[in-house]
Amino acid sequence: MKRWLIAFLMLLLGRGQKPRQLPPPDPVLDAEPPRSPGSELLVVVLLLGAAAAAIVFVVVYALSANTQLLGLSMGGALVLLAAVFYVIAKRLVPQAESDEPYPQLIHQPEQEEVARTFEESASRLTRKRLLVVAAGTAGTALAVAVVTPLASLGPILDTDRLYRSPWSRGRRLVDAAGKPLKAGEVIERSLFSAFPEGADPKDLAAPIVLVRVEGDDLDLPEGRENWAPGGIVAYSKICTHAACAVSLYRAPLNEPTAPKPALICPCHFSTFDPAKGAEVLFGPAGRPLPQLPLEVDGDGYLVAGGDFSGPVGPAWWGVRKR
């Protein structure tokens, strides 16, 4: 408290006394008047503009929170600020170039010593080959580590799991909500998705698409005569090209004047004929969608009649071996 009081008194006493005038030092830069006295005024105007834009931001925020106005006001304030810096740098700060020659090297012997120290620093590496081998090991291991995630692209040796499927004879078809599907619900000109009851719906081979094909149009490959009860055909929903979900169904209302029915993948427009065992009509897919044989159980529910006609999903080197 006492110290504060003394400090305050000293401050009062000191007031009014002019500081000792030092003679002004010689200017380093050539004395040059500002190019235009308007520059300072311009800076002031720009600063006030930036302040105004910032205030507008606060007002807009309080009133409406319109994102466009918010961006415009804050962005405007920053742009004005940038302009201020530009004007100050270009017009108010004196522009002068000066250069200073490097001094002569004055520590010649020490430099030579440093260079020799550097050269001799490798002299302790007597087992150079061992070190090279170790470095090579580290590099190889690192390279392997970088390449390892490629294994996630798919099985290389054990390709059996690419053939595995949750479908087997008697397994009921359920919709996405888990409700078993009745054959009567599958109406013509409509696309249905289904999954095996009680299995993981995220399994690649789980999802299938169902459509009802008009009786006379059905022309399935040999041996599949009993696979489509009531004209209902089921195919894997996973496109054989790049594994997208086949979710488009071209279902003409009046077939003679429109393109014929087709299942289509939305990614690259691979087009499959549902009446002919999902034969490829167009697009990059290399083979038909695998078909799932269907049966109707005693209660009218749709059940699988077995497993798919081929491997599900995009092709790989072993896809045609079975």
Partner 1 sequence: MLRASLVLLAALVLVPSAAADGRQLYLEGCASCHGVDARGIEGRGPDLHGAGAAAADFYLSTGRMPLAEPTDQPLRADPEYSRGEIDQLVAYIGSLGGPPIPDVHPEQGSVSQGLELFSENCAGCHHMTAAGGIVTNVVAPSIWGATPTQVAEAIRVGPYVMPHFGAGRIDDAELNSLVSYVELTKNPDDRGGWALGHVGPVPEGMVAWLLAGAVLVLVARVIGNRAR
Show contacts with partner 1 in window 151-180 (CB under 8 A). Answer: 176
Does 248 interact with partner 1 (rule: CB under 8 A)?
Answer: yes
| Nearer CB in complex with partner 1: 30/97 | 97
Does 249 interact with partner 1 (rule: CB under 8 A)?
Answer: yes
Residues 6+ apart with CB under 8 A from 180: 172, 173, 174, 197, 301, 302
C-alpha to C-alpha distance for 202 and 194, rounded to whole angstroms: 12
Contact 300, 184 (CB under 8 A): yes
> Of how many residues is the chain composed?
322
| Nearer CB in complex with partner 1: 245/319 | 245
Does 271 interact with partner 1 (rule: CB under 8 A)?
Answer: yes
> CB 83 → partner 1: shortest distance, Å?
10
Does 234 interact with partner 1 (rule: CB under 8 A)?
Answer: no
Contact 64, 91 (CB under 8 A): no
* Pairing mode, strands 192-196 and 173-174: antiparallel
> CB 67 → partner 1: shortest distance, Å?
5
User: Per CB under 8 A, which region of 11-19, 22-30, 127-135, 188-196 contacts partner 1?
Assistant: 188-196
Does 264 interact with partner 1 (rule: CB under 8 A)?
Answer: yes
* Residue 18, CA distances (Å) to 23, 65, 88 in order: 14, 53, 32
> CB 283 → partner 1: shortest distance, Å?
7
Tell me whether residue 127 is exposed, middle or buried, using C-beta atoms within 10 angstroms of its C-beta: 0 to 12, 13 to 18, 19 or more. Answer: exposed
Q: How many residues of this chain bind partner 1 (CB under 8 A)?
A: 32
Contact 91, 36 (CB under 8 A): yes
The binding site for partner 1 (CB under 8 A) comprises 67-68, 71, 86, 90, 176, 185, 187, 189-191, 193, 247-254, 256-259, 262, 264, 266, 269, 271, 281-283
